[in-house]
Amino acid sequence: MKPKHVAFAVILFAVVIAGSSSAGATDRSPVSIHINLDATKVIAGHAIHGTAVLTNASRKTILVESCAIDGWLDVGLANKSVQYEPISPAIACAPSVKLKPGVNTFPITVQTIYQVCYQKHLKPRCTKTGMPALPKGTYHVDVVTAGLPKGTISTSPTSVTLR
C-alpha cells in the first residue's frame, strides 16, 4: 500500500470504531433474559420445563409490543445441523404483556422434537405419532422474542444434551 492509502485506511477504521461504539450505547435494552431449565440432559423427544426470567432494569413498566397469546417468547434448541425457527402466528390481540420493574418470571417448555416434518421426499420424515425427536447430540438454547426493546440480551445454559 502507498502511504496515502494507509493513512486513509487508518482514518476509515477509526471512524468505523467510533461510530460502532456510540451506536451500541443507544441500542442497549433495559430488559435482559435468563433461561433456567429443570434439566440440561434429557432423552430426545421429552420436553424440558423451565423458567424465563426477564429483568426490567428501568423504573417503568414496559409494554411488550406483542400479544400474549401470539407466543411472544419462544425458546427452543438449535445446533449446527438443526435451526430453531418458531412459527409466527397472525396477530390475535393488542399488546398485552407487561414487564414490571425488576424480575418477571414466565414458565416455558422447550420441545426436543422437530417443529415440522414431511410425509414424502423431504427430511425430517413424520412418524406415525407426528413429529420426530431431534437427533441425539449437543444443542444450545435459542430464545426468539417478539416485541421486546431492540438490544435485549438473552443468556441461557451453555448446552443441552439429548440422549
Percent of the chain past pLDDT 70, that is, above it, reads 80
- C-alpha span between 115 and 134 (Å, rounded): 9
Instruction: Match domain 29-162 to its CATH number in 2.60.40, 1.20.120, 1.10.150, 2.40.50.
Output: 2.60.40
pLDDT at residue 70, as a whole number: 66
Report domain extents, the chain. 29-162
pTM metric for this prediction: 0.75
- Please name which of 54, 4, 6, 1 lies closest in space to residue 30, comparing C-alpha atoms: 54
pLDDT greater than 90 at residue 135 = yes
Q: Quickly list DSSP for 9-24.
A: HHHHHHHHHHHHHHHH
Residue 95 identity (one-letter amino acid): P
Mean of per-residue pLDDT scores for the chain? 82
pLDDT at residue 15, as a whole number: 33
Give the bridge partners for 67, in sequence order.
Answer: none
Confidence of residue 7 (pLDDT cuts 50, 70, 90): very low
Q: What is the pLDDT of residues 37-56, one digit of tens each?
A: 999 999 999 999 999 999 99
Residue 142 neighbours by CB distance under 10 Å: 20
- Please name which of 3, 1, 58, 71 lies closest in space to residue 32, comparing C-alpha atoms: 58
Q: What is the pLDDT of residues 58-94, one digit of tens each?
A: 999 999 988 777 678 899 999 999 999 887 666 667 8
- Please name which of 43, 42, 34 lies closest in space to residue 75, comparing C-alpha atoms: 34
pLDDT at residue 12, as a whole number: 35
